[in-house]
Amino acid sequence: GEDVEQSLFLSVREGDSSVINCTYTDSSSTYLYWYKQEPGAGLQLLTYIFSNMDMKQDQRLTVLLNKKDKHLSLRIADTQTGDSAIYFCAESFMASNTGKLIFGQGTTLQVKP
Amino acid sequence: GAVVSQHPSWVICKSGTSVKIECRSLDFQATTMFWYRQFPKQSLMLMATSNEGSKATYEQGVEKDKFLINHASLTLSTLTVTSAHPEDSSFYICSALRWGSGAVGYEQYFGPGTRLTVT
């Protein structure tokens, strides 16, 4: 079945790196995404990775994918107070081609000055 | 970039009344839109897939008679919460699929959400 899990809370100091982890169960997922949600707002796509890739870097963001362990992580370098938000990982399935996303529970990132 | 709007951004209604929430894709056509529900500090729960010109596809456990979805045009989907009760209070988020963009051939854009409070 489809299940995506994340740790619920992470607290870091400004300037440190943050690593947010996600595990999923369905190995047929095609793309894996990271979304950011600020309080009272919708979701903003941060980055995504194709399931046959191991790593993707985009400025301060690094996504690592361990397909064998079905583990996805998002590393934010030089974390800033503006990075405080809820981060969701999500997976999609090309085979279904419906655009449907399965979300994790979200990780609340707290950045202390 | 593509923009999806929702209206209203927040609404308070009395128990037993119906509330309509609109989701619009402002600068692209969307044959497929999604409606999600989010409880405080919880994930997004997909309620239904809204397809232009046809009936919505509801996820298991979602009452289709309670949450009416109409996707009458390529830029507008509406969610009507009928006979609302306090347990329907939640944050409702829509998204719209834009085909022909993104690495997978489509990209999903999210609206800002609508906060519904039923008293």
Choice between B101 and A33, residue whose per-residue pLDDT is larger? A33
Q: Which helix (H) or strand (E) holds A55?
A: strand A55-58
The whole-angstrom separation of Cα B109 and Cα B67 is 22
Per-residue model confidence (pLDDT) at position A100: 81
- Tell me how far CA of residue B76 lies from CA of A13, A86, B49, B50, in angstroms: 43, 28, 13, 10
Tell me the average confidence (pLDDT) per consecutive run of 10 residues in chain B, 119 residues long: 90 97 94 90 87 90 95 93 96 89 74 95
Per-residue model confidence (pLDDT) at position B72: 83
| Residue pLDDT, tens place only, A53-64 | 899 999 999 999
Q: Residues of A near B (CB-CB distance < 8 A)?
A: 8, 30-31, 35, 40-45, 48, 50, 88, 92, 94, 98-106, 108
CB contact under 8 A, B34 and A43: no
| A-chain residue closest to B94, CA distance | A42
| Residue pLDDT, tens place only, A67-106 | 889 999 999 999 999 999 999 999 887 655 677 888 999 9
At A24 the three-state DSSP class reads strand
User: Can you read off the two tokens belonging to residue A37?
Assistant: 């949600």
Q: Which residue of B42, B103, B110 is in closest CB contact with A42? A: B110
| A-chain residue closest to B42, CA distance | A105
Q: Residues of B near A (CB-CB distance < 8 A)?
A: 4, 6, 32, 34, 41-44, 46, 49, 93, 95, 97, 103-104, 106-108, 110-113, 115
Q: Which residue of A40, A99, A104 is in closest CB contact with B108? A: A99
Per-residue model confidence (pLDDT) at position B78: 96
Per-residue model confidence (pLDDT) at position B76: 95
CB contact under 8 A, B103 and A30: no
Per-residue model confidence (pLDDT) at position A6: 93
Whether A8 has a pLDDT exceeding 70, the answer reads yes
The whole-angstrom separation of Cα B79 and Cα A73 is 34
| CA nearest neighbour of A45 among B4, B48, B31 | B4
Q: Which amino acid does the sequence have at B2?
A: A
Beta carbons of A71 and A55 less than 8 angstroms apart? no
